[in-house]
Amino acid sequence: MDFKWLEDFVTLAETRSFSRSAELRGVTQSAFSRRIRALEEWIGADLLSRDSYPVTLTPEGVLFRETAEEAVRMLNARRAEFREHSRSRGGEISFLSLHSLSVTFLPGWLMRLKAVAGKMTSRVKPENFDRCVEALAEGGYDFFLTYAHPQVNIPLDPELYPHLVVGLDSLVAVARPGWPGEWLSEGMPLLQYSRGSFLNQMTRIAQAQPGAPKVYVAHIDEASMAEAMKSMAVAGHGVVWLPRLLVEAEITAGRLEVVAPELPMEIRLYRNPSRGRGITGQVWRAAEHMDREQPSA
């Protein structure tokens, strides 16, 4: 059971509207509905009567509402207590990061950041893009490290969540050298990320560029893990679009070769300004300094 399902249910019990509740929770209505249904499946009972508007609670829903409200209140109070304790220590900084960035860009960048900002404890949560955005908005983390491209929407209000460009990368189509000649006429087998994932959006943009190979979908990775897709490409399953930083060693060693023009990407650091401890401001200023110092592309 996911804690946010309880928060969703409490919100819905108050608004009696799926659309309004989804807006307040910062998710699409369809995603919100799925989460409520998942809670009902976990509970083993229908909590809502969906035959009327506004939505009404079933007898089970009325009983469960009190439990959910008390659980949310107690957990939020305890979380606030722990966060205050963390603030009093003052030396821990927390990051959300896309999986691939956590193993390529983040380690070296974080060392340089600590050299500028000073000694601190760092905590990193690698996650997929949607969960990172959600977790940043929920307020549990200080910063979010992500790829960005002008044609891909990042659903964070720039007035509320400022960002810095802290690095550059590119999305590159790679395949194992010596791929069969018939791929050129029949199309190369494409290793595709799950529909709706961040890298799937980036891949569609890259694949639409002039010079991109003709492809057909041969494999779909439901977890959308770039590291797993790299292994599939090295094994010879087909072509996949991957961050260059993730496959630089394989390209240099000749285990993969580039088969299309690359798609430039920014690496952005988003800040949650609601977590305005002194250490976060110190880190932000250090990141700004590093951004000014890096050579322009």
- Residue 44, token pair as written in the block: 């083993």
- Rounded-to-integer distance, Cα 90 and Cα 279, Å: 6
Highest mean pLDDT among 99-103, 114-118, 212-216: 99-103
Query: What pLDDT band is residue 277 in, cutting at 50, 70 and 90?
Result: low
CA 54 to chain centre: 33
Q: What type of residue sits at position 110?
A: L
Which CATH number is correct for 90-167+266-293, 1.10.1040.10, 3.40.50.2300, 3.60.15.30, 3.40.190.10? 3.40.190.10
Q: Mean pLDDT in the chain?
A: 87
How do residues 54-104 score in pLDDT, each as one tens digit? 889 999 999 999 899 998 888 878 777 666 665 555 567 899 999 999 999
Percentage helix, strand, coil for the chain under 3-state DSSP, each rounded to 5:
50, 20, 30
> For the residues 2-11, what does the mean pLDDT come to?
89
Closest CA to 243 of 97, 98, 100, 96: 100
> For the residues 118-126, what does the mean pLDDT come to?
87
- Rounded-to-integer distance, Cα 126 and Cα 124, Å: 6
> For the residues 255-281, what does the mean pLDDT come to?
88
- Residue 252, token pair as written in the block: 């240099």
Is residue 209 within 8 Å of residue 263, measured between CB atoms? yes
User: What is residue 297's predicted lDDT score, i.e. its pLDDT?
Assistant: 45
Query: What pLDDT band is residue 31 in, cutting at 50, 70 and 90?
Result: confident
**DSSP-assigned letter for residue 105:** T
User: What is residue 149's predicted lDDT score, i.e. its pLDDT?
Assistant: 96
Q: What is the largest CA-CA distance in the chain?
A: 66
What is the percent of the chain with per-residue pLDDT over 70, rounded to a whole number? Answer: 91
Which CATH number is correct for 3-85, 1.10.260.40, 1.10.10.10, 2.160.10.10, 1.20.272.10? 1.10.10.10
Please report, in angstroms and rounded to a whole number, the separation of the first and last CA atoms in the chain. 46
Closest CA to 36 of 62, 16, 9, 13: 9
Closest CA to 146 of 121, 123, 173, 128: 128
Which CATH number is correct for 169-265, 3.40.50.2300, 3.60.15.10, 3.40.30.10, 3.40.190.10? 3.40.190.10
